[in-house]
Amino acid sequence: MRRFLLLLMALGCLGVQAQVAQRISGAMEAFNGDEQLAHALSSLYIIDAATGTVVYDQNSRIGMATASTEKIITAATAFDLLGSDYNYETRFGIVNTPQGKCLYVYPSGDPTLASWRWEETKDLAFLARLKAALQEAGVKELHSVMVYNGEWGNETIPDGWIWQDLGNYYGAGAQAINWRENQFDLILRSGNSIGSPVSVVKTNPYLYDYRITSLATAAVKGSGDNSTLYYPSMGRNTGLLTGTIPADQTGFVVAGSIYDPVNQFTKTLINNLKGTVRFSSDKPVITNKGTKEVKWVYTNRSPELSKICYWFLKKSINLYGEALLRTVGLKQKGMATTENGISAIQEHWKSRGVDADELHLYDGSGLSPQNRITTRAQVTILKYAQQQPWFDAYYEGFPLYNEMKMKSGTINRVKGFSGYQKSKEGKSYIFSFLVNNYSGSQLSLIRKMYKVLDVLK
């Protein structure tokens, strides 16, 4: 009797799965026939979360631009290779140089240094701890700040990122020293009439040795932020703002990326230490030569990786993705480069059933339009994650869209959703849905993608 009941239950589950597959097939037939998809490529891969059985497959082995859905791969790799309790450590000490004693900084690429997301990481909290440590060590006079970059090199942004993105907050790359998430706010004032000039009021925080020239103009009220911040040309220290913001604004905020975080970090630190430590030079000294002759005075530790990945996934912070990718490269290959991080990711997932050719990566965040990843690879990694001890922390970071736990992704003409869903019948599914080169409005496309995914509810 028990075997008979189990058989009936199994047949019932198969029946539910068959119905879902049929409904998904019908929804996708309508989706594929929509005029927005006339010149697009779509991929949808769905499996039963418990058994791994394929529920639906359209183009699951075709490499697609993923946008920020790639972050689910970077986060899972970081959890697996670094550990959920991993901390970044930035060490500070005193070294002797021919010019005099220097504050020696051994960075870790910590993306949370001076971040506003935790009380303990905020700039003033960190600077207070460092100041107290220097006072306790009796340090009163130094030549300059020396930053070791031997493990991180001079790479600032990954290959494949486009010029229009770099000056904006989401275009901040990871470096040996990251400061305040390498972001600043640009405060703007616009005139009353359409076409009137937009002027720069100030930046928050104050930017050292850097200024913004505005060529932006005022647009109709309520038009929103249609501006673009550009990095300075080679050898210059002036950024450029173009585009439009609404008319009649007195404190309109546009977020940008800090061009030189090491300089910003150094001069903020020196300015904060005035009255405690006197520096004879405020110019940072960058060195790729390590030294053993250091009198260590303070170690700053980041929040644990599970907390970093929470914000990484929840708010889609590109800087965190690049820092995690390069950290994986450092731990697995000995040097914190994007190339090493990509190689480590491909090797790690190849041993877990994902062909390296399904993971053509150029970064760790998905901002590069050159990334090509299959929906099968994403779902395979999501399935693997579900079976790991760190899964709860990983899952917690997934945003809630359309009442579904899934990571979204958006770049030009690319939209994606990847995640987990439990149906009203109690069945759990894992899915990845990517669309490249759609036409029309993004909002309209999202509604149509939601209509397909609603079948899983």
Listed residue (287, 418, 360, 321) closest to 65, CA to CA: 360
Sequence-distant contacts of 388-392: CB under 8 A, at least 24 apart: 388/79, 388/80, 390/79, 390/80, 390/83, 390/84, 390/306
Place of tokens 């009649």: 248
Query: With left for phi above 0 and alpha for psi between -120 and 50, is residue 195 left, alpha or beta?
Result: left
| Phi (first) and psi of residue 27, to 5 degrees | -65, -40
Q: Are 144 and 284 in contact (CB under 8 A)?
A: yes
Residue intervals in the chain for CATH 3.40.710.10: 2-84+305-456
Residue 56 β-bridge partners: 46
pLDDT value of residue 411: 97
| Phi (first) and psi of residue 289, to 5 degrees | -105, 120
Calpha distance 416→407 (Å, rounded):
8
Where b means 16+ CB within 10 Å and e means fewer, 65-96 reads bbbbbbbbbbbbbbbbbbebebbbebbbbbbe
pLDDT value of residue 11: 47
Question: Tens digits of per-residue pLDDT, 120-171?
Answer: 999 999 999 999 999 999 999 999 999 999 999 999 999 899 999 999 999 9
Pick the CATH number of 2-84+305-456 from 2.60.40.1180, 3.90.650.10, 3.40.710.10, 1.10.240.10: 3.40.710.10
Residue ranges of the chain with pLDDT lower than 70? Answer: 1-15, 234-235
- Assigned token pair, 84: 């959920």
| Phi (first) and psi of residue 427, to 5 degrees | -85, 140
Q: Are 89 and 339 in contact (CB under 8 A)?
A: no
Q: Are 259 and 210 in contact (CB under 8 A)?
A: yes
Question: Tens digits of per-residue pLDDT, 252-302?
Answer: 999 999 989 999 999 999 999 999 999 999 999 999 988 889 999 999 999
DSSP state of 413: T
Tell me the C-alpha to C-alpha distance, in Å, between residue 50 and each of 3, 386, 397.
20, 10, 21
pLDDT value of residue 456: 98
- Assigned token pair, 55: 């529920």
| Phi (first) and psi of residue 306, to 5 degrees | -60, -35
DSSP code string of 128-177: HHHHHHHHHTT--EES-EEEE-TTTTT--S-TT--HHHHTBGGGPPP-SS
pLDDT value of residue 16: 74
Which stretch of DSSP H or E encloses residue 220?
none
pLDDT value of residue 100: 94
User: From the CA atom positions of the chain, what is the Rg in Å?
Assistant: 25
List of residues 6+ apart from 403 with CB closer than 8 A: 457
- Assigned token pair, 195: 């076409």
Listed residue (415, 145, 118) closest to 273, CA to CA: 145
Calpha distance 382→378 (Å, rounded):
6
Listed residue (132, 133, 105, 127) closest to 114, CA to CA: 127
